[in-house]
Amino acid sequence: MTYSVSELSKAATYIIEKSCSKLLCLNGEMGAGKTTLIKELIAKLGCEDSGQSPSFGIVNTYEDSLGKTLAYHFDFYRIEDEVEAYDIGIEDYFNFDGWIFIEWSERIVNLLPDRYTEVQLTIDSPESRTLTLIEH
């Protein structure tokens, strides 16, 4: 799917409807729009928080309007190796019955469960992206 920045809502709806898993691994080069897309996804799912990249804290938790955990958002850009993901208890998060968004999942590929959806983002131009869903 190719979309423009103004069609971000359409891209988020597409992902929610087409993904076979609530574990979404968003990959693409720096500036491809991973965090921006996650912000739109959590808004579509009913989160009241506007969302931000957890680059320095590694994980953010998003809640619905009733205070129930709706999603976890990981950013593994700054980790040095998979041991750091173990240190935060990543395997426990994978048991969560809700949405999990992971940026830079290629840094923990050996830790991912068997079933997840990879969202590959490609920059076509400053205003256009191509989104590819790959089911694992």
CB 4, CB 128: distance < 8 Å: yes
**74-133 pLDDT per residue, tens:** 999 999 999 999 999 999 999 999 999 999 999 999 999 999 999 999 999 999 999 999
pTM, 2 dp: 0.92
Give the pLDDT band (50/70/90) at residue 58. confident
Q: What is the mean pLDDT of residues 62-78?
A: 92
Total number of domains in the chain: 1
**Domain-located, residue 69:** yes
Burial of 59 (0-12, 13-18, 19+ CB in 10 A): middle
**Domain-located, residue 33:** yes
Pairing of strands 128-135, 2-4: antiparallel
For residues 65 and 33, the model is more confident at 33
- Letter for the amino acid at 100? I
Q: What's the whole-number average pLDDT of the chain? A: 93
**Domain-located, residue 106:** yes
CATH at 109: 3.40.50.300
* Ramachandran assignment for 58, one of left (phi > 0), alpha (psi -120 to 50 degrees), beta (any other): left
Q: How crowded is the C-beta side of 26, counted as CA atoms within 13 Å?
A: 28
The answer to whether residue 50 scores a pLDDT higher than 80 is: no
Q: In this predicted structure, what is the pLDDT of residue 64?
A: 87
Phi, psi dihedrals of residue 47, rounded to the nearest 5°: -80, 140
**9-43 pLDDT per residue, tens:** 999 999 999 999 999 999 999 999 999 999 999 99
CB 59, CB 73: distance < 8 Å: yes
**Domain-located, residue 44:** yes
The answer to whether residue 47 scores a pLDDT higher than 90 is: no
Look at the block and give the residue holding tokens 């590694």. 58
CB 14, CB 136: distance < 8 Å: no
Domain that holds residue 62: 21-121
